[in-house]
Copies of this chain bind each other. A is one copy, B any other.
Amino acid sequence: MRRKVYEQGVPFAEVELSGDNPPVRLYDTSGPGSDPLKGLPGLRADWIGTRGGGKITQLACARAGIVTPEMEFVAIRENMDASVVRDEIAAGRAVLPVNVNHPESEPMIIGSRFLVKVNANIGTSAVSSSVAEEVDKLTWATRWGADTVMDLSTGKRIHETREAILRNSPVPIGTVPIYQALEKAGGDPVKLTWEMFRDTVIEQAEQGVDYMTVHAGVRLAHVPLTAGRVTGIVSRGGSIMAAWCLAHHRENFLYENYAELCEIFARYDITFSLGDGLRPGSIADANDAAQFAELRTLGELTHVAWEYDVQVMVEGPGHVPMHKIKENVDLQQELCDGAPFYTLGPLTTDVAPAYDHITSAIGAAMIGMFGTAMLCYVTPKEHLGLPDRDDVKAGVIAYKIAAHAADLAKGHPGAQAWDDALSKARFEFRWEDQFNLSLDPETARSYHDATLPAEPAKTAHFCSMCGPKFCSMRISQDLQAYAEQGMRAKSEEFRAAGASVYQISSTGGQST
């Protein structure tokens, strides 16, 4: 079975296995469980107090050589030395998003040296969903492994929705403040002002938002570069800022007031997520001049944030064919001096709406392997509608697969132990262990039971795919035992034993 265990206060999902197989510990994001009326306990409340005034960001602390309790926490979580955590943060290669006003969160780290993380987007829109639904999606998303959640609510009740999400979230919460600012501007981008935006940021900062997407890289001069595109500007924030820049024929006010933004972010230890407002929205537009012009600006803004001791990560695309993926990571890492990359997919083809969790899991796994630190999920509803509960799960699972595949490819220490434990259970026909070790135990169990529902089938040395006679693993197990004893001498013995090996087991469920 699976149960939650704590090691020095750090949560893990521990999978107990049968026989003398040691238990397996998995990274766990599900939190202590939430009660939307009361919210979660303030795990970090005491730690935050100790930092007092002055420079309070994790980056400032790391640069001062301090290992914060948050860094200790993630060190245990990632099975790494705390000094590595501190050094990666100090160098800007990792971020630990922890607004001082979000004490409920369990610290986690985003950086290419650590496990690849997954973000799930939720949020109401003008035409869909309620506050309670969104809190439910949050809890559901972290249950399946979302490492952070972005609240992308638009329409009414943005503040209230966000409050409910923050008070119930064990993971860092990200937002895109321009959405709420636009509501304050009556929905007209042209009427947006820096003051509206700034006040919105402060309102959200007070609530405890851990990281914010800011589209400060959509500069006036970049906008005409999108004119020849197949799909123009597909980022909401990007299109809003582009409309503002063009209408006023002025430089992006986020770019112009970026220093003040840094000062605000530093006070709360909010992490920048520098938005890629000009990301490609189709295969045709991938890696084009507009996208890379903005990326150069994001590199510049990364360095400015660091001057203010503000943590920063950089957002990336989008829609990119496989052969153009690596260039994105390489250029971002170069221009942003190793700041964590945080990409949306990318989708590797445009032709499969309703399956974009798959078109993009392909790109996400690859870009993770190349060094992207966090993957923003895409659900089956992408391009078609808002994700419901099932879509959230489908998106998170597809992205946990991509992230773990990337961890394996990067040779992350300990990542393969999970695969090995599951494969060993599979080879030894420990069905229950195999289910419990699965990313989604319930579904794995139900798929098995669909063909062989009888309880004895759970201990049978075969499954419905091959039936008892053709079970390669069963034959192979016998071979292995045989090979261990030397080959030739045992030939006769194997032949004699063989007859029983391929008989139908008395525990079998083959007739069900």
Contacts and interface: CB of A to CB of B under 8 A. Distances in A.
A494 interface: yes
A306 interface: no
Contact of A322 (B366, B472, B477): B366
Nearest to A446: B354
Interface in A360-415: 361-362, 365-366, 369, 380-386, 388, 397-398, 400-402, 404-406, 408-411
Nearest to A365: B362
Nearest to A462: B127
A476 B189 CA distance: 12
Interface residues of A, number: 131
Interface string A345-357: 0001111111101
B426 A498 contact: no
Nearest to A380: B447
A420 B444 CA distance: 37
User: Which label, helix, strand, loop or mixed, suits the secondary structure of the A interface?
Assistant: helix
Which of the listed residues A369, A447, A471 has the most CB atoms from chain B within 10 Å of its own CB? A447
A466 interface: yes
Contact of A404 (B179, B351, B353): B351
A502 B322 contact: no
A208 B169 CA distance: 61
A54 to B, nearest CB: 39
Contacts of A440: 352, 354-355
A247 B385 contact: no
Contacts of A443: 354-355
Interface in A214-258: 223-224, 226-227, 229-236, 238-240, 242-243, 246-249
B349 A476 contact: no
A491 interface: yes
A322 B464 contact: no
A436 to B, nearest CB: 11
11 contacts: A127-B509, A239-B476, A243-B475, A247-B491, A283-B408, A284-B420, A349-B408, A351-B401, A352-B439, A353-B434, A354-B447
Nearest first, the 8 A-B pairs at minimum CB distance are: A232-B476, A126-B467, A282-B423, A385-B451, A322-B409, A239-B472, A239-B475, A227-B483
Interface of A: 125-128, 154-155, 179, 182, 187-190, 223-224, 226-227, 229-236, 238-240, 242-243, 246-249, 281-284, 319, 321-323, 348-355, 357-359, 361-362, 365-366, 369, 380-386, 388, 397-398, 400-402, 404-406, 408-411, 416, 418-420, 422-424, 426-427, 434-435, 437-440, 443-444, 447-448, 450-452, 463-473, 475-480, 482-484, 487-488, 491, 494-495, 498-499, 502, 509-512
